[in-house]
């Protein structure tokens, strides 16, 4: 294999020293023949293109969803729709709720511009992740393993595993809080119940990847419906909401506002989403030719952009509701989820408001488990070439997240879980540079991406976005540690 793949001593035919004892290889699915794909052209166009079989990302669902080669634009877009919505889950998970609530209750609608800016950054990075997966046939973890020396690969794997555990931690806390608010289940009991979602994910995966996507989209619609109803009930002034999307100099000059703004941006882009997106776009059975890849990149980018606009609506809605209900009534101290739940109905004068808030939180927590499960599988298989049974991978990851929640709740009470939620976001911030920098490096390198490398202006913009995210996350980490 040419040295331009990355580190010269690595080869796709090698198996890392940590690989489990050899087992009988799984039978390979024979790709569906397409009029545009030929054996000679199947992996053309990218130096990352695969030369050996058996290395597909998420092999059990790889190229399992047929896409039409002809037809209307809408029909083809619908065939590619799904991965973007699964990725959007990470941008509205329980970890983001606290910063949105604090921003709205303290500063009204001013920080809506920050939510919009962070969402635009996410749209760009997710489009790059989709491009990498489609053009190269590799997910981000596989590309890192192939291009970097083994010690660097292990470091990136360890950092990403920490991020996935931190994300899972936020999901456990969010789901446990929602179960307590809706059904009166103690936090410890709710945290233990979340282990059962492993079997839900397995059941959906066994039925087909489209079922998993449908489950995610259904819960996203529940979340969006809950917040749309709350906005109607809160009736915020339209002029103030629209004005909030215009950047204000106060965001930079006010230290307290700047701190929350950094938290919003730092908590928006989820590092594991970049690994996830680069893998699940490969579930579509598009023509593995240069032309087929170009079409797939366009539709995958449209899919993720539309889905992330839904995430923008949800995050903006949390802040708008907090501003219209809490800030407008002088309650600028609302920062925690349970506090918001307790005040919503009394301040709005509508009993269903708090119920809708908790229902959206439960849907958000359940939805996020899907992305964490798949991201964990992708990262372990991509970096280490270790393939565990899905149930084992899910239970191990979930157990690592449940234990700290149970211990902290038992020792410090419910206030401890709020601090644990903040800690999980700090861990995510620490890992973000380890995902963003390799991604931008790969997609801007013509030696690796060939004709699918991004243009110089897009590459410059991507590096600026990466730099902003890294700097803001480092500052958020330092401020959090220093108190």
Tens digits of per-residue pLDDT, 192-251? 888 777 677 778 878 889 999 999 999 999 999 999 999 999 999 999 999 999 999 999
CA distance 250 to 257: 8
**How much of the chain, in percent, has pLDDT values that exceed 70?**
85
297 within 8 A of 130, measured Cβ to Cβ: yes
What's the distance, CA 322 to chain centroid? 24
Question: Is pLDDT at 27 greater than 80 in this prediction?
Answer: no
Report yes or no on 12 lying in a domain: no
What is the pLDDT confidence band of residue 417, given thresholds at 50, 70 and 90?
Answer: confident
What is the pLDDT confidence band of residue 401, given thresholds at 50, 70 and 90?
Answer: low
CA distance 308 to 121: 11
- Give the pLDDT score at 319: 95
- Give the pLDDT score at 53: 42
- Give the pLDDT score at 30: 41
- Give the pLDDT score at 197: 75
Report yes or no on 55 lying in a domain: no
Question: Is pLDDT at 151 greater than 90 in this prediction?
Answer: yes
Question: Is pLDDT at 40 greater than 50 in this prediction?
Answer: no
User: Across-strand partners of 284?
Assistant: 65
Report yes or no on 436 lying in a domain: yes
86 within 8 A of 280, measured Cβ to Cβ: yes
Report yes or no on 369 lying in a domain: yes
| Mean pLDDT within 272-291 | 94
What's the distance, CA 96 to chain centroid? 12
- Which of 296-300, 302-306, 385-389 bottoms out in mean pLDDT, i.e. has the lowest? 385-389
Question: Is pLDDT at 39 greater than 70 in this prediction?
Answer: no
The residue with greater pLDDT, 20 or 455, is 455
CA distance 174 to 418: 10
Question: Is pLDDT at 337 greater than 80 in this prediction?
Answer: yes
- Give the pLDDT score at 260: 85
- Give the pLDDT score at 92: 86
Report yes or no on 118 lying in a domain: yes
Question: For residues 65, 69, 71 and 75, what is the CA-based torsion angle, rounded to 10 degrees?
Answer: 20
Report pTM.
Answer: 0.85
Question: Is pLDDT at 70 greater than 60 in this prediction?
Answer: yes
* 3-state DSSP assignment of residue 476: helix
In the chain, how many domains are there?
A: 1
Residue 54: is it exposed, middle or buried by C-beta count within 10 angstroms (0-12/13-18/19+)?
exposed
Question: Is pLDDT at 402 greater than 90 in this prediction?
Answer: no
- Which of 26-30, 399-403, 408-412 bottoms out in mean pLDDT, i.e. has the lowest? 26-30
Tokens representing 351? 């009993």
User: Across-strand partners of 285?
Assistant: 66
CA distance 326 to 337: 13
- Give the pLDDT score at 36: 45
Distant-in-sequence, close-in-space partners of 41: CB < 8 Å, separation ≥ 6:
288, 289, 290
* Rounded-to-5 percentages of helix, strand, coil across the chain: 75, 0, 25
> Tens of pLDDT along 344-371?
999 998 889 999 999 999 999 888 877 7
User: Helices marked H in 83-149 — which ranges?
Assistant: 83-88, 94-107, 112-136, 140-147
The residue with greater pLDDT, 395 or 136, is 136
What is the pLDDT confidence band of residue 398, given thresholds at 50, 70 and 90?
Answer: low
Give φ, ψ of 285 to 5 degrees.
-90, 60
Report yes or no on 72 lying in a domain: no
| Mean pLDDT within 276-297 | 95
What is the pLDDT confidence band of residue 423, given thresholds at 50, 70 and 90?
Answer: confident
Give me the domain span that covers residue 258: 94-482
**Residue 387 zone, left/alpha/beta (φ > 0; ψ -120 to 50; rest):** beta
Q: What is the distance between the terminal CA atoms of the chain, rounded to a whole angstrom?
A: 50
CATH number of the domain that 431 lies in?
A: 1.20.1740.10
- Which of 166-170, 310-314, 315-319, 458-462 bottoms out in mean pLDDT, i.e. has the lowest? 166-170
- Give the pLDDT score at 119: 93
CA distances from 32 to 160, 164, 272, 288, 342 (A): 34, 34, 30, 11, 54
CA distance 25 to 53: 11
- Give the pLDDT score at 31: 43
> Tens of pLDDT along 152-205?
999 999 888 888 887 777 788 888 899 999 999 988 888 888 877 767 777 887
Report yes or no on 319 lying in a domain: yes
- Give the pLDDT score at 45: 52
What is the pLDDT confidence band of residue 48, given thresholds at 50, 70 and 90?
Answer: low
If you compute the radius of gyration of the chain from its CA atoms, what whole number of angstroms results? 22
Summary mean pLDDT of the chain:
83
Report yes or no on 475 lying in a domain: yes
| Mean pLDDT within 429-455 | 91
- Which of 153-162, 275-284, 420-429 bottoms out in mean pLDDT, i.e. has the lowest? 420-429
What is the pLDDT confidence band of residue 444, given thresholds at 50, 70 and 90?
Answer: very high
**How much of the chain, in percent, has pLDDT values that exceed 90?**
50
What is the CB-side half-sphere exposure of residue 456 using CA atoms within 13 A?
A: 0
Tokens representing 134? 């489609």
- Give the pLDDT score at 49: 56
């Amino acid at each position: 294999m040419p040295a331009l793949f990355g580190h010269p001593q690595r080869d796709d035919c090698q198996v890392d020293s940590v690989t489990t004892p050899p087992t009988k290889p799984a039978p390979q699915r024979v790709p569906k023949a397409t009029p545009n794909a030929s054996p000679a052209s199947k992996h053309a166009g990218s130096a990352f293109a695969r030369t050996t079989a058996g290395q597909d990302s998420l092999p059990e669902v790889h190229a399992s969803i047929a896409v039409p080669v002809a037809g209307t634009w809408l029909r083809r877009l619908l065939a590619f729709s799904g991965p973007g919505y699964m990725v959007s889950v990470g941008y509205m998970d329980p970890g983001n709720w606290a910063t949105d609530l604090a921003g709205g209750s303290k500063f009204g609608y001013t920080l809506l511009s920050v939510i919009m800016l962070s969402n635009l950054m996410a749209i760009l990075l997710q489009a790059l992740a989709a491009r990498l997966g489609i053009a190269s046939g590799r997910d981000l973890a596989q590309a890192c393993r192939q291009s970097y020396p083994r010690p660097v690969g292990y470091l990136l794997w360890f950092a990403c595993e920490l991020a996935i555990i931190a994300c899972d931690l936020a999901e456990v806390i969010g789901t446990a809080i929602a179960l307590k608010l809706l059904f009166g289940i103690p936090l410890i009991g709710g945290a233990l119940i979340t282990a059962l979602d492993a079997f839900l994910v397995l059941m959906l995966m066994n039925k087909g990847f489209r079922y998993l996507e449908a489950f995610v989209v259904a819960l996203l619609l529940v979340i969006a419906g809950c917040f749309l109803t709350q906005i109607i009930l809160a009736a915020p002034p339209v002029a103030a909401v629209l004005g909030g999307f215009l950047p204000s100099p106060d965001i930079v000059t006010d230290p307290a506002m700047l701190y929350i703004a950094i938290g919003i941006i730092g908590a928006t882009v989820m590092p594991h989403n970049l690994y996830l997106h680069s893998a699940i776009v490969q579930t579509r059975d598009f023509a593995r030719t240069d032309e087929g890849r170009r079409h797939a990149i366009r539709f995958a980018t449209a899919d993720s952009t539309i889905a992330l606009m839904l995430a923008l609506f949800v995050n903006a809605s949390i802040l708008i509701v907090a501003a219209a209900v809490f800030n407008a009534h002088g309650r600028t101290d609302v920062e925690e989820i349970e506090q918001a739940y307790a005040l919503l109905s009394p301040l709005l004068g509508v009993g269903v408001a708090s119920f809708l808030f908790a229902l959206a939180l439960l849907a958000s927590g359940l939805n996020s488990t899907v992305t964490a499960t798949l991201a964990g599988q992708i990262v372990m298989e991509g970096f280490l070439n270790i393939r565990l049974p899905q149930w084992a991978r899910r239970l191990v990851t979930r157990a690592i997240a449940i234990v700290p929640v149970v211990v902290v709740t038992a020792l410090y009470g419910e206030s401890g879980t709020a601090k644990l939620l903040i800690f999980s976001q700090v861990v995510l911030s620490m890992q973000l540079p380890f995902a963003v920098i390799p991604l931008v490096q790969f997609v801007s390198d013509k030696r690796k991406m060939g004709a699918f490398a991004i243009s110089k202006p897009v590459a410059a913009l991507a590096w600026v976005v990466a730099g902003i995210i890294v700097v803001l996350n480092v500052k958020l980490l330092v401020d959090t540690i220093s108190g």
